[in-house]
Amino acid sequence: MMNLQATMKTATLAMVLQAALLAGSQAQRGPEVPLMRPEEAEVVQRQTLEFFDAIRPASRDAVASTVWVWADTGRGGKRPVALGTVIGDGTRALTKWSEIAMAVGPIQVVGGDGTTAKATVLGVYQDEDLAVLSLEGARYRAVGIGNLVAPKLGSFLIAASPDDTPVSVGVVAVEARSLREKDQAFLGVRPNPKHEGKGVMILGIEESSGAAGAGLRENDIILTLGERPVNSLIEMRTALTAYGPGDRVAIRYLRDGKEATVEAELKEKSENFPQFPNDRLRQMERMGTSLSLVRGGFPSAIQTDMQLERDHCGGPVVDLDGKFAGIAIARADRTRSFIIPAKAVAELLAKDPVAPDVAQEALAQRDAERQQVGQAVPPGGQPPQRAIPVPPKRAENLRRHLEDMERLMDRMRTEMEGIEE
Read off the CATH number of the domain in which 350 is found.
2.40.10.120
Q: Looking at the structure, tell me whether residues 156 and 303 fall in a common domain.
A: yes
Indicate whether 37 belongs to any domain: no
Q: For residue 404, what are the domain limits?
A: 355-420
Indicate whether 263 belongs to any domain: yes
Q: Looking at the structure, tell me whether residues 268 and 191 fall in a common domain.
A: yes
Indicate whether 7 belongs to any domain: no
Enumerate the β-bridge partners of residue 181. Answer: none
- At residue 52, φ and ψ (nearest 5 deg) are -70, -30
Q: What DSSP element (H or E) covers 321?
A: none
Average pLDDT over residues 220-249: 88
Tell me the pLDDT tens digit for each residue of 137-168: 999 999 998 767 889 999 999 999 999 889 99
The pTM of this model reads: 0.69
Indicate whether 13 belongs to any domain: no
Judged on CB neighbours under 10 Å (0-12, 13-18, 19+), 171 is: middle
Confidence of residue 197 (pLDDT cuts 50, 70, 90): confident
Average pLDDT over residues 317-325: 94
Q: Looking at the structure, tell me whether residues 264 and 321 fall in a common domain.
A: no
Q: Looking at the structure, tell me whether residues 145 and 171 fall in a common domain.
A: yes
Indicate whether 25 belongs to any domain: no
Confidence of residue 243 (pLDDT cuts 50, 70, 90): confident
Q: Looking at the structure, tell me whether residues 309 and 161 fall in a common domain.
A: yes
- At residue 85, φ and ψ (nearest 5 deg) are -110, 115
Confidence of residue 381 (pLDDT cuts 50, 70, 90): very low
Indicate whether 340 belongs to any domain: yes
Q: Report the share of the chain in percent with pLDDT over 90.
A: 49
Q: Looking at the structure, tell me whether residues 173 and 312 fall in a common domain.
A: yes
Q: Looking at the structure, tell me whether residues 212 and 81 fall in a common domain.
A: no
Average pLDDT over residues 70-80: 89
CA distance 72 to 103: 5
Distances 296 to 6, 71, 329, 341, 344 between C-alpha atoms, Å: 37, 23, 9, 14, 16
Q: Looking at the structure, tell me whether residues 144 and 61 fall in a common domain.
A: yes
Q: Looking at the structure, tell me whether residues 64 and 160 fall in a common domain.
A: yes
Indicate whether 31 belongs to any domain: no
Query: Which of 396, 407, 403, 402 minimizes the C-alpha distance to 71?
Result: 396
Average pLDDT over residues 45-51: 76
Q: Which of 354, 372, 392 is the last residue of a domain?
A: 354
**Least confident range of 59-68, 177-186, 369-378, 402-411:** 369-378
Distances 280 to 187, 237, 285, 386, 415 between C-alpha atoms, Å: 21, 14, 9, 25, 11
Mean per-residue pLDDT over the chain, rounded: 79
Confidence of residue 264 (pLDDT cuts 50, 70, 90): very high
Confidence of residue 411 (pLDDT cuts 50, 70, 90): low
Please tell me whether residue 277 adopts helix, strand or coil conformation. coil
Q: How many domains does the chain contain in total?
A: 3
- At residue 125, φ and ψ (nearest 5 deg) are -95, 95
Q: Looking at the structure, tell me whether residues 173 and 207 fall in a common domain.
A: no
Average pLDDT over residues 13-27: 45
- At residue 210, φ and ψ (nearest 5 deg) are -60, -40
